[in-house]
Amino acid sequence: MPNNVYVNRTLNLKKIKYIGLDMDHTLIRYKTENFEKLAHSVMLNKLVNNLGYPKSILDLTFEFNRSIKGLVIDKNTGNLLKVSRFGGIKQSYHGLKPIDYYKRKKIFADTFIDLGDNNFDTIDTNFSISFANLFAQLVELKDTTEFQTLPEYNQIAIDINQALDRAHQDGSLKDVVRENLEDYIIRDEKIVQLLEKFIKHGKKIFILTNSEFPYSKLLLDYAINPFLKDHDSWADLFEFTITGSKKPRFFYDNLRFMKIDPETGNMTNVKSKLTPGIYQGGSANLFTSDLNLDPGHILYIGDHIYGDIVRLKKDCAWRTGFIFEELEDEVKNNKLSESINKEIEDLMAKKIPLETKIDNLISDGIENDHKNHKDEINKLLDQVQEIDKLISPLISKIQKLYNPYWGEIMRTGIEESYFAYQVERFADIYMADINDFFSQSPRSYFRSKRRLLAHDE
């Protein structure tokens, strides 16, 4: 079986006693494009009906490809940015138009992005794809004479957020999901059986989700219960089901657990130590101490790079697993681009000596001022140009494999993206799909590779 679990830091599953799972987009997978399309249209409706935006924006159609995970939204300028691991801006769009290289240099010069700045939002999860698309579309409209009365870019971002919050509060988003589960939620028999296998090996599995109990119950009833063999209901399968958990606060604060009665949904304060069951709220601290666990014996798997992974690692010593579904395509495309990259490398191997020759001739002219190498230099420059002409279609061939607007998620040119940096720094293991993890033996030893440093050959 191919090992599709990628390892940043060695992890011995034999030592892991508790495996925690985020629910949305981790344990329960969505038909992401459908869901984001729905979110886009619900937000548009709220903007028009509640926040006074012109009716004509209802014509905007959702474009799934317009944004990728890890992008940064600059709310003040209306720009979308792709940032390198060092915080440098490597690609940018204003609204729906790319900002060209020279203009970008001028606007951002040596700006490095500090993501702690409130002006920036990052696309951390699948749930932000529609937000980024709608923001870019409205910025694009705001720049036209017809729509110049739209609020400032920053206010547009605030309004979209407010529209989304309202949709969550009044249930307009989740009600549609509830009525059409098969359009939005993936049901997968295999994952349920794999979970039962892990439990046979003595692993305790728990859910830790920010979704509230009624919505969690809806999804779990639909996606888990029909496929159980050794258990009557998901409530027996999972040692703990912690809903409304307020991650990332869960990882650093000391909020109390409330016990939920699954029949009525009523909640009561927990005064004694935690026992298996269904809860709301709580904290990692209490969870670890009440169960008398070593934090290193808990593995938590989630798909929100900040809320599930980065903050967890900064605040507690649980091990981390990161899920992002785009990884599958990215790995596939990296394989496809290998042979093209090899062609580029071969051409570069021809180009570099020519450039060195040119440099040497120029140096010679400077150092021995009687010498004139102009003709020879021009000839060499022509040869370099010929090679460049062969390289550039190869580069666009590679770019076409990935997202048409943004390219790879994990890289910006040869540098890693900021997103890749976060994954590498904070996720002990990562994979495209929760099945990749549970398809491994519960006794696996995930070993990290020796990593190359700049001076390594």
Task: Give me the least distance between CB of 19 and Mg ion, in Å please.
Answer: 15
CB 23, min distance to Mg ion, A? 7
Binding residues with Mg ion: total (CB under 5 A): 4
Beta bridge partners of 84: 417
User: Is the Cβ of residue 22 or residue 74 nearer to Mg ion in the bound state?
Assistant: 22
Contact partners, residue 375, CB within 8 Å, separation at least 6: none
Q: Measured from the CB atom, is 147 or 222 closer to Mg ion?
A: 222
How far is 299 from 316, CA to CA, in rounded Å? 11
Instruction: Identify the residue whose tokens are 């939005």.
Output: 184
Give 136: exposed, middle or buried? Use CB within 10 Å, 0-12, 13-18, 19+: buried
Residue 46 touches Mg ion, criterion: CB under 5 A: no
283 within 8 A of 255, measured Cβ to Cβ: yes
Nearer to Mg ion, 24 or 74 (CB): 24
State the nearest-atom distance from the C-beta of 24 to Mg ion, in Å: 4
36 binds Mg ion (CB under 5 A): no
124 lies in the site for Mg ion, by CB under 5 A: no
4 to 33: interface string for Mg ion, x by CB under 5 A: ------------------x-xx--------
Question: Can residue 436 be called a binding residue for Mg ion (CB under 5 A)?
Answer: no
Using the contact rule CB under 5 A, the part of the chain among 240-248, 301-309, 388-396, 399-407 near Mg ion is: 301-309
Minimum separation from the CB atom of position 222 to Mg ion (A): 17
Q: Is residue 303 part of the contact set for Mg ion (CB under 5 A)? A: yes
Using alpha carbons, select from 402, 436, 304, 419 the residue that is nearest to residue 7.
436
Distances (CA, A) of 90 to 83, 86, 103, 161: 6, 10, 12, 26
d(Cα 381, Cα 384) in Å, to the nearest integer?
5
| In the complex, minimum distance from the CB of residue 110 to Mg ion, in angstroms, rounded to a whole number | 35
CA atoms within 13 A on the CB side of 14: 3
Q: How far is the CB of 187 from Mg ion (least distance, A)?
A: 17
Q: Where does this chain bind Mg ion (CB under 5 A)? A: 22, 24-25, 303
